[in-house]
Chains A and B, each alone.
Chain A
Amino acid sequence: MNVELGKNEGTALSWEILQSQTQLCSLYQEQVLYLLVEIRPATAAPGERLPLNLCLVVDRSTSMQGARLEHVKEAAYQIIDGLHDDDALAVVTFNDRANIVLPSQPGASRAYAKAKISTMSASGGTEIFQGMQAGLAEVEKHHNEQVISHMILLTDGQTYGDEEACLAEARLAGVRHIGISAMGIGEDWNDALLDEIAAQSGGVSAYIASPGQVYTFLQERVRGLGSLFAQALTLELQCADGVQVEALFRTSPYLERLTLTGSVANLGILQADAPLAVVLEIGVTHKPPGEHGLLQLELAGNIPSLGRQGDKLQHDVHCTFTSDEPPTEPVPPAMRSALSKATIYRMQEQAWHALDGGDVKGATRRLEMMATRLFDLGEIQLARSAMLEAGRIAQGGAPTAKGRKELKYGTRSLTIASRRKSYD
């Protein structure tokens, strides 16, 4: 195990980097090395949080009628009650077109805002792009580097034909440092699209199984934004020859597969109260005995509360190659725990991938294996869902949309929800 602490002076970010091994063997053609990067604030954030600049973008298509829309209204009232005087909140609804229910305005009267929200009613179809465009325009009104700008998108349906436009809008938001939280209610929404919207903008996506959970999810999100320490965090990875980053996962505060754009991964925000952890799986090809530099990590981000932009940390990962088999090094418990969860998430991805490719047997086996691992973690509910879906598939049926989403988003929140802290 190798522990490296961030030591670059004058930055408000700190990190700890753990390696699964510090010694590799020159005898092997190819081997695997893991890194766990834990990022934390180096200094305490100022007591007062930055003003929030929020926009709630709500699907008001016919399917939202009844409990769903009522719960959204209820949740919005609660958010309004929790806002500070200098926070701005806008509410936009959309079906086939967008409607600005509450224009963005800091310090707006709470009673007025609630009265406006109470008028929301459901009808029509779902065109997410319309809502996103109007919502982002509202956020832009009061957007600057001294506020936390964020859009929360709530939908329960599929959008047709405007997916590309939605993603372009999300990319634009990402560039402007406006995060988007995309939340799907019920089963009939496009998880691939919402995941991508969130990833492009540096936000998160979530699955809300029942309308009753809307409040919890929104509250949690707004609380998370309130404790924001750094934003626009990026991790750049420069690999030496014969070294390749094969997989990259964020494992805390929630689990997500990260994608590299060139050599850069967008990490989104760092909360003051929850460390941001990333695991890397790295393939290393044969090298002669001696010490070798494998890759260089560079973390960059903005810390709005301190008025700092482009804070940077750098670290070089080295390994000693030995001509004999090196001694076994203990795996840090934090790394083992993070990897165990990422492994389950991957098994779930592979199961659906196998199923989509027509490999019913492979998908069933993977879901069953995944159930075993979930039982080991004490995640009984999720494990049962996996068994249920495996059974359904094995008998020639299709997996339910509910089960599929439950497993995907359930395994993703393993790092938060796990009742047992460690893997063993």
Chain B
Amino acid sequence: MIECPSCGRKHRPGTLFCSECGVYLPTGGPLRTEPLPEEELPVSRANPWASEPVEEPSEPTPIPLCIRVVATGRQIQLPATAEVHIGRLDAAHGIFPDLDLSPDGGLEGGVSRHHCKIHQRGSAYLVEDVGSANGTFLDGQRLTPYLPHVLKDGDELQLGRVKLEVIIRE
């Protein structure tokens, strides 16, 4: 018997799709974010200490943050919440990111279900990789997971292979 890596249901040898959850059994995908080849991703690492320290203003002023998906041209106004999660929706496992990149080729592009988050501190926006499989890149430099970096207007964010443009307009 072979076991479904996603839901654990047992199947007869030779079965290709799990009848319970629809997963392709030989690879356990496409639920799983496949690692992309190293050469397809930028190599340099961002220095978390290089960016200017963020000042804590007394009164935070909300500034609208927009994300534009470069390949599809889709532009999304992010909700004005303290934290915005970006990733790939997986309803079966209860993963509902605020910005779902599935329609923009997120799966093929190597976007993890939990990929990164953007949060606001004062008037600045910070991006933080949350342990994604293929990494988050800011202007071509790979971010160290769980270390926030400041975002500026016009910055290029790359999640796996999917490129996003950051638009911050006051």
A interface vs B, CB < 8 Å?
20-21, 24-25, 28, 30-34, 283-284, 328, 331, 335-336, 339-340, 343-344, 346-347, 350, 365-366, 368-373, 375-376, 378, 380, 383, 387, 390, 423-424
B82: Cβ under 8 A from any A Cβ: no
Across the interface, B30 reaches (CB within 8 A) one of A335, A370, A423, namely A423
* A370 near B12: Cβ-Cβ < 8 Å: no
A-chain residues with CB within 8 Å of residue B31 when the two chains form the complex: 372, 376
| Alpha-carbon distance between A283 and B89 when the two chains are bound, in angstroms | 34
A-B interface pairs (CB < 8 A), number: 87
Interface class of chain A by DSSP: helix
* B24 near A423: Cβ-Cβ < 8 Å: yes
* A343 near B22: Cβ-Cβ < 8 Å: yes
B interface vs A, CB < 8 Å?
7, 11-22, 24, 26, 29-31, 89-93, 100, 102-103, 107-108
Known A-B contacts A378-B102, A424-B30; A372 and B92 likewise in contact (beta carbons under 8 Å): yes
* B13 near A25: Cβ-Cβ < 8 Å: yes
**Closest 4 A-B residue pairs measured CB to CB?**
A32-B14, A373-B22, A343-B17, A372-B92
14 A-B pairs besides A21-B14, A331-B26, A369-B7 with CB distance below 8 A are: A28-B13, A32-B11, A32-B12, A32-B13, A34-B14, A340-B22, A340-B24, A343-B22, A372-B90, A372-B91, A375-B90, A387-B91, A424-B24, A424-B108
For residue B34, which residue of chain A has the nearest CB? A424
A362 to nearest B CB, angstroms?
Answer: 10
Interface centre among B16, B31, B91, by most A CB within 10 Å? B91
Interface centre among B15, B92, B93, B107, by most A CB within 10 Å? B92
- 7 A-B pairs with C-beta separation under 8 A: A25-B13, A335-B16, A368-B91, A371-B92, A376-B102, A424-B107, A424-B108
B-chain residues with CB within 8 Å of residue A339 when the two chains form the complex: 16-17
Interface centre among B16, B18, B19, B20, by most A CB within 10 Å? B16
* B89 near A20: Cβ-Cβ < 8 Å: no
| Alpha-carbon distance between A24 and B14 when the two chains are bound, in angstroms | 8
For residue B26, which residue of chain A has the nearest CB? A331
Across the interface, B15 reaches (CB within 8 A) one of A32, A344, A370, namely A32
* B91 near A383: Cβ-Cβ < 8 Å: yes
For residue B27, which residue of chain A has the nearest CB? A424
| Alpha-carbon distance between A31 and B19 when the two chains are bound, in angstroms | 15
B-chain residues with CB within 8 Å of residue A335 when the two chains form the complex: 16
Known A-B contacts A375-B91, A376-B102, A424-B108; A369 and B14 likewise in contact (beta carbons under 8 Å): no
